[in-house]
Amino acid sequence: MEVKRIHLQSHGDERGALVSIEQNKNIPFKIKRVYYIYDTQKSVVRGLHAHKELKQVAIALKGSCKFILDDGNERAEVLLDSPSSGLLIDSCIWREMHDFTDDCVLLVIASEHYDEDDYIRDYTQFKKVVANYANK
Ligand code: TYD
């Protein structure tokens, strides 16, 4: 599957670096929520779900982790290891995150407020939803 990365321009000078995040500019949607994941224990797998509508951009602000993205037909593995690289996770994409380094801080920018009803937590159900979309 096609992996959509977003290059986030880093404004660096002798003092250090700065990255700016702006809705409908470098983030391709209106930002309604931001959360971050840190102190993730070794060998933990997070995610294991898809969303019906939600779009997200994930950025490893510190350290690194790996994403598996699955569009129902193909899987891709992506290493996130740079604060200037965003990963766009579209709606209806199954995601699993693993191999978090001890220092990993994963920032996630989301297009909607938290809504449990938007989750698809069962992989078989996810495959059915994807098949339904394909038939439309
Ligand atoms: P969870 O969905 O298990 O995280 P992950 O997808 O990374 O495995 O979320 C962990 C807990 O945090 C769960 O109790 C729901 C809660 N939560 C919120 O309250 N708001 C949020 O925006 C998110 C993403 C999770």
Mean pLDDT of the chain: 97
In short, whether 46's Cβ falls inside 6 Å of ligand 1 is: yes
Distance 110 CA to ligand 1 centre (A): 12
SS3 (DSSP) at 21: coil
For the residues 9-23, what does the mean pLDDT come to? 97
- Paired tokens of 5: 């990365």
Distance 24 CA to ligand 1 centre (A): 24
- The residue written with tokens 């990963």 in the block is 87
For the residues 21-46, what does the mean pLDDT come to? 97
Distance 7 CA to ligand 1 centre (A): 26
Q: Is the pLDDT of residue 134 over 90?
A: no
Extents of the domains making up the chain: 4-134
CATH number corresponding to 4-134 = 2.60.120.10
Q: How confident is the model at residue 136 (pLDDT cuts 50, 70, 90)?
A: confident
Report the candidate in 111, 64, 119, 115 with the shortest Cα–Cα distance to residue 93: 119
Closest ligand 1 atom number to CA of residue 113:
22
* ipTM of the modeled complex: 0.96
Backbone angles phi, psi at 134, to 5 degrees: -65, -30
Nearest CA to ligand 1 atom 25: 114
Whether 100 and 65 have beta carbons less than 8 Å apart is answered as yes
SS3 (DSSP) at 64: coil
